[in-house]
Amino acid sequence: MAMKINNGISLGNIWTIAITLLALAVLWGSGQTKIQNVENDIEKLEVSKADKDVIEVKIDYMSSQIDEIKEMLKEIK
């Protein structure tokens, strides 16, 4: 017995399309959330790297000041 294809729109077809669209919307939304989380992580890394750079500059400045003080102490002795 050959299967007959019905060209009309049935309730089953409507449900299939609706569920497929819902699944695509959920998939797209979860993808956007993951992208946003990655962007936030990158921003946090950039901020922490900037803080590290500032700390390094301050340490270099303090080291140079300490060296100058040592030289002054040597001159006093």
- pTM value is 0.46
In a domain, 65, yes or no: yes
In a domain, 71, yes or no: yes
What's the domain count of the chain?
Answer: 1
Largest CA distance in the chain: 112
Structure tokens at 30: 């979860």
Quick: pLDDT tens for 7-59: 777 888 889 999 999 999 999 989 898 999 999 988 888 777 777 778 888 88
Residue 61 domain boundaries: 52-77
How far is Cα 17 from Cα 11, in angstroms, rounded to an integer? 10
Q: Alpha carbon of 8 to those of 11, 13, 45: distances in Å? A: 10, 9, 56
Helices (H), 1-77: 11-76
In a domain, 77, yes or no: yes
In a domain, 72, yes or no: yes
End-to-end, the C-alpha distance of the chain in Å comes to 112
